[in-house]
């Protein structure tokens, strides 16, 4: 039996291009949310969870409007966070990113992601489908966990707003990434949130 995690980054929020980390959805973000809802319309979700911050909460609300059978629930395990700190094996280019990050933020993020993995990286007795609406760093950490990559490797794993990533978890085999940063539901003009332009 397979436990599928459908990971969706929240839609674009207002003033995202100015570096704000959260806020109400922009008009583009609302369109992104509706399109990913249409993309997921045929999935028999057993659970739908979202970060309690504004952008993921509003993204979840748009999905619930389009998919009336789901009942999204907020989860603090899906908050935006810093999942790990600098490690000896981390490439030097990443070290400068931690300039404004406190040790308390790192410890809190590590604890949160440990609990999130324990919560959702669990095999199921029968096929299960869970949708998690969250943030780029959280999705990067889940992908890193699936690959059992070094802790720092969540960095540089970037997903666009409302991109779809699917991870499959089974009891007898390692987790596998079914798809990563899937943007098939978004026209080119709605592919936002990546550090570099998406090749077309």
The answer to whether 123 and 171 have CB atoms below 8 angstroms apart is yes
Residue from 55, 58, 57 nearest 74 by CA: 57
Q: What is the mean pLDDT of residues 162-191?
A: 95
Checking if the pLDDT of 198 tops 80, the result is no
Question: In the predicted model, is pLDDT for residue 196 greater than 90?
Answer: no
pLDDT of residue 23: 87
Average pLDDT over residues 175-196: 94
Four-point Cα dihedral 168, 146, 53, 65, nearest 10: -10
Alpha-carbon span 104 to 82, nearest angstrom:
10
Contact between 67 and 40 (Cβ < 8 Å): yes
82-129 tens-digit pLDDT? 999 999 999 999 988 898 899 999 999 999 999 999 999 999 889 999
171 pLDDT more than 70? yes
Rounded CA gap, 64 and 71, in Å? 7
Higher local confidence (pLDDT), 124 or 58: 58
What is the tally of helices (H) and strands (E) in the chain? 4, 6
Q: With 0.75 as the threshold, say if the pTM is over it.
A: yes
Rounded distance, CA 104 to CA 13, Å? 27
The pLDDT of residue 178 = 98
* Predicted local distance difference test score (pLDDT) of residue 200: 62
Query: Which tens digits make up the pLDDT trace of 134-163?
Result: 999 999 999 999 999 999 999 989 999 999
What is the share, in percent, of the chain residues with pLDDT greater than 90?
86
**Angle in degrees, 0-180, between the axes of helices 54-66 and 27-39, rounded to the nearest 10:** 50
């Amino acid at each position: 039996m397979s436990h599928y995690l459908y990971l969706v980054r929240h839609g674009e929020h207002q003033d995202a291009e100015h570096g704000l980390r959260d806020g109400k959805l922009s008009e583009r973000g609302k369109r992104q949310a509706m399109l990913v809802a249409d993309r997921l319309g045929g999935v028999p979700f057993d659970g739908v969870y979202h970060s309690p911050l504004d952008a993921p909460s509003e993204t979840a609300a748009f999905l619930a409007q389009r998919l009336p059978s789901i009942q999204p629930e907020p989860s603090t395990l899906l908050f935006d966070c810093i999942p790990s700190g600098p490690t000896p094996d981390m490439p030097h280019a990443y070290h400068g990113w931690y300039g404004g990050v406190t040790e308390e933020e790192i410890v809190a993020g590590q604890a949160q992601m440990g609990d999130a993995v324990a919560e959702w990286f669990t095999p199921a007795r029968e096929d299960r489908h869970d949708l998690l609406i969250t943030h780029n760093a959280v999705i990067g950490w889940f992908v890193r966990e699936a690959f059992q990559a070094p802790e720092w490797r969540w960095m540089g794993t970037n997903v666009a707003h409302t991109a779809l990533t699917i991870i499959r978890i089974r009891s007898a085999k390692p987790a596998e990434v079914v798809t990563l940063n899937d943007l098939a539901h978004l026209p080119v003009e709605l592919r936002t949130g990546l550090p570099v332009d998406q090749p077309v």
